[in-house]
Amino acid sequence: MQSKFKPINKKEIDKKLTAIQVSELMAVSVRTVRQWTAQGLLPCYHLSERCKRYSMEDVVAFMEESKVA
């Protein structure tokens, strides 16, 4: 079975992503990403009250743990 996740370049592992970028990478809606964040399943960095960023490393770890493929 082929994964629906986009391949990740090893050089991009330190990147910080927006919820939109995470949703595109994982082939889910932005709402799903925000729900996972609110539930504490997907960690994020708060740049301000409304501005969040996700580390590529955390996203990859979440994808591997959750097997959302």
Query: For position 61, which CATH number holds?
Result: 1.10.10.10
Please give the distance of CA 32 from its chain centroid, rounded to a whole number: 10
Query: Is the pLDDT higher at 20 or at 13?
Result: 20
The proportion of the chain whose per-residue pLDDT surpasses 90, expressed as a percent, equals: 52
Asked whether residue 49 is domain-assigned, the answer is yes
Confidence of residue 13 (pLDDT cuts 50, 70, 90): low
Domain count across the chain: 1
Residues 21, 58 contacting (CB under 8 angstroms) = no
Asked whether residue 51 is domain-assigned, the answer is yes
Return the DSSP state at 5.
Answer: S
Confidence of residue 54 (pLDDT cuts 50, 70, 90): very high
Domain that holds residue 24: 15-66
Query: Is the pLDDT higher at 69 or at 48?
Result: 48
CA distance 10 to 48: 28
Asked whether residue 37 is domain-assigned, the answer is yes
Q: Which helix (H) or strand (E) holds 19?
A: helix 19-26
Asked whether residue 9 is domain-assigned, the answer is no
